[in-house]
Amino acid sequence: MQNKGFTLIELLVVVLIIGILSSVALPQYEKAVVKARAANAYQILKSINTAEQLANMDNGTKGQRYPFEELSVAFTDKNGNTATGYSFMAKDYTFFIQGTREQNKREPATAVLAGTSIYLSINNGRRACGVVDPSNADAVSLCRTIVGSNTVSSAMCVSGTTCYME
């Protein structure tokens, strides 16, 4: 009589191989998810900045800050409500209209990654990522994953951050 099936050793080897593969693949997957979320946030930032520029052109002003309800594009928060005022919370980021381009030498909109102190902004068409605590290796690694490892003056990002720019 011949038994059919797998031995315990064979099953353990398969489980071990799956464990090794997943330990290698999971960090890469997490980085890909972060990059995708950041890409989405940068698209929203571009839309906000463009809408701010259009509002300034329509009103004959230069560098004026307009709340979300006065912009030509409607933005919605994580609950599906139309954004009002100068900030709204999306699923993964909180978006702010902070100051005018003339005040801080960068586009007025900023995004903050939920649950962190990582700030995303756009400066002269280039993506920037600022970290409040440069000793936080995870935050620095995240910024470098999003925009690269070029460190630039903090004036290019939100003040008080270590700034990385593509």
Q: Residue 52: which residues within 8 A CB-CB, separation 6 or more? A: 65, 66, 71, 97, 107, 108, 109
Is residue 1 in some structural domain? no
Count of domains for the chain: 1
Beta carbons of 120 and 111 less than 8 angstroms apart: yes
Q: Are 138 and 145 in contact (CB under 8 A)?
A: no
> How far is Cα 34 from Cα 53, in angstroms, rounded to an integer?
28
Q: What are the structure tokens assigned to 70, written together?
A: 């006065």
**The pLDDT of residue 79:** 92
Share of the chain above pLDDT 90, in %: 12
The per-residue pLDDT for range 80-119, each reduced to its tens digit, is 999 999 888 888 888 888 765 555 455 778 888 877 778 8
Q: Residue for token digits 């989405």?
A: 40
CA–CA separation, 121 vs 141, rounded Å? Answer: 17
Q: Residue 64 domain-assigned?
A: yes
Residues 10-21 pLDDT 10s: 999 999 999 999
CA distance 26 to 132: 27
Token pair in block for residue 88? 């709204």
- Give pLDDT tens digits for 1-47: 677 888 899 999 999 999 999 888 888 888 888 888 888 899 999 89
Q: Tell whether pTM > 0.85.
A: no
Q: Is residue 3 part of a domain?
A: no
Contact criterion met (CB below 8 Å) for 140 and 118: no
Identify whether 2 is part of a domain: no
Range of 52's domain? 8-165
152 near 164, Cβ under 8 Å? Answer: yes
**Inter-residue contact 122 to 156 (CB < 8 Å):** no
